[in-house]
Structure formats: structure tokens, C-alpha cells
């Protein structure tokens, strides 16, 4: 009997930890007050001109995306704006660690450039299905359709967004000057 009480206590502890983790999960997403959408936006101060930032961003896009021409919908050097639309896969993971496709999340991004700074916006995340399903639905645990796997999808969205932002910031740093004498 004491074996069952010990197991039950272990399950209760695990459940408590999982509930605390899942409740804090939605707090890590920046929600735009006007649109209600998950929106990552930051102004980054960096050395460079509008034109230099634009060229660095084009280089980064060409390196980051396998199909850069299809990704960007706007590339306007004069206004200093690049806008794009892309998508990434999310997965279900079974207890053995096997992954299966769970769908494709589409998102939009904007890059804006001024002297000495640039701004990125990463937003409008939506699950591509027969219609677009905003991922903000996954944040609502009171939704009658809520399923616990949405937490995994949110974690994947979070990880993707953080990696995208870090990769962009690295790509936007000034490159070292090339010495023409060493070739």
C-alpha cells in the first residue's frame, strides 16, 4: 500500500511542476496591446547607415532562408524597409522521442533601417490549415478546444522566435574590413 502512496505522491509532484511550467509559459510571449497578436519588436542600436543595414539584411536573408526571393515581399532601399512572409514546421513528439509533423506555422517579419539603428518586427503567427488559425488561440487554456499539446507548440514557437532574433542580430553586425593586400 505504501508503494502506491509513494507513486501517487510522485505523480502529484510531477503534475504540480508541469502545471507551474505551463502556466508560466504564456507569460513569456510579448502580446501587442493594439492587435492582440504575439509580436516580437525591438530597436537595435548598431554601427551603420540605412544603406549598410539594408545590404546586411539582404545578405542575412540570402543566408538564412533557402528561398530568399520568395520570402521577401518588399525590399525598398529608399524607405529602408524589408518585409517578408515565411513558415516553419512544428512537431508532435511521442514518449519515445519520435517526431511527427503537426503542421506549419506562417509568420510575417519587417526590418526597418535608420542611421545607427534598425528595428525588427516578427508577428502574425498562424497555423496553416484549411484556414489560418492564429497561434494566440494556444495561449487560452479556457478554450473548450484546448489540448495540452498546445504547450509544446508554444515552446516550439518560442524557440524558433528566439533563434530567429539571435541569428538576425548576428547577421546585422558590421563585418570586418577586408584587406586588399591579402588575397
The torsion angle over the Cα atoms of residues 54, 56, 58 and 64, rounded to 10 degrees, is -140
Q: Is residue 11 part of a domain?
A: no
pTM: 0.80
The CA distance from 146 to 136, in Å, is 12
The answer to whether residue 8 is domain-embedded is no
What is the per-residue pLDDT across 99-156, written as a single tens digit (0 to 9) for each?
999 999 999 999 999 999 999 999 999 999 888 899 999 999 999 999 999 999 999 9
Residue 142 sits in a domain of what CATH number? 3.30.530.80
Number of domains in the chain: 1
**Domain residues for 124?**
31-171
- Domain assignment of residue 164, yes or no: yes
Q: Does 16 map to a domain?
A: no
Residue 79 falls inside a structural domain? yes
Domain presence at residue 157: yes
Amino acid at each position: 500500500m505504501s508503494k502506491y502512496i509513494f507513486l501517487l505522491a510522485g505523480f502529484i509532484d510531477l503534475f504540480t511542476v508541469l502545471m507551474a511550467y505551463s502556466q508560466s509559459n504564456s507569460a513569456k510571449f510579448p502580446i501587442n496591446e493594439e492587435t492582440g497578436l504575439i509580436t516580437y519588436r525591438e530597436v537595435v542600436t548598431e554601427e551603420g547607415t540605412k544603406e549598410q543595414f539594408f545590404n546586411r539584411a539582404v545578405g542575412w536573408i540570402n543566408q538564412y532562408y533557402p528561398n530568399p526571393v520568395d520570402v521577401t515581399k518588399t525590399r525598398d532601399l529608399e524607405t529602408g524597409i524589408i518585409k517578408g512572409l515565411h513558415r516553419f514546421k512544428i512537431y508532435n513528439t511521442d514518449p519515445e522521442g519520435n517526431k511527427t509533423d503537426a503542421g506549419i506555422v506562417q509568420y510575417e517579419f519587417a526590418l526597418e533601417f535608420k542611421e545607427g539603428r534598425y528595428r525588427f518586427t516578427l508577428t502574425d503567427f498562424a497555423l496553416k490549415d484549411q484556414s489560418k488559425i492564429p497561434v494566440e488561440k494556444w495561449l487560452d487554456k479556457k478554450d473548450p478546444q484546448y489540448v495540452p499539446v498546445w504547450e509544446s507548440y508554444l515552446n516550439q514557437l518560442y524557440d524558433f522566435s528566439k533563434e530567429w532574433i539571435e541569428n538576425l542580430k548576428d547577421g546585422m553586425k558590421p563585418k570586418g574590413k577586408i584587406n586588399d593586400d591579402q588575397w
